[in-house]
Amino acid sequence: MNNTLINDMLAVGDDELNHYYLELKKQVESSGYHFNPDVEFTKSLLKSIILNDKRYGYRSCPCRLAVNDKNEDLDIICPCDYRDPDLDGYGTCYCGLYVSGEILRGEKKLKPIPERRPSPEDREKLKTKSISGIISSSIPIWRCRVCGYLCARQEPPENCPICTAERERFELFD
């Protein structure tokens, strides 16, 4: 495939970007979150998310390098697993797409955020840790990796009722 064809396939038109921005903004606000008020900056991040979706088949975070393996990148599919801790500690997520109400109202200034994503080696170690024994139930308990929502049912919900993350963002809480 030549580079021109690849670039055409990855192009993001203004209509596509504006539609995504408006739909996602409505979803974000209905979930109690806030986009960065700099619309041009926000749209540039959303454009990168759309490009990542076209490249990899999933909407990975625009500020982190995806490895083109959805299972390896589940923690960085936007909204990433680190959004809420970053919002709590710094008032914005790592890439600046989401901001806290304090930032939005001008009550808090933006400051640099350290990278929270563990190294590939540390992520592998985390997969083997378990908190078994804390909760015992015959029904599986599912935890949303984005916001921490817990539910007891045979399968995780299609979307998190709190943050609207998709089913694949849930993990067994054992």
Cβ atoms of residues 156 and 64 within 8 Å: no
CA neighbor of 28 nearest in space, from 145, 136, 125, 146: 146
CATH number of 3-104: 3.90.460.10
Element housing 46 (H / E)? helix 39-56
pLDDT in tens, the chain (174 residues): 666 555 556 789 999 999 999 999 999 988 878 999 999 999 999 999 999 999 999 999 999 999 999 999 999 999 999 998 898 889 999 999 999 999 999 999 888 899 999 999 988 887 766 555 444 557 899 999 999 999 988 888 888 888 888 889 999 997
Phi, psi of 112 (to 5 degrees): -60, 150
Where in the chain are the domains? 3-104, 130-172
Cβ atoms of residues 163 and 31 within 8 Å: yes
**CATH code 2.20.28.10 for 130-172:** yes
Cβ atoms of residues 14 and 46 within 8 Å: no
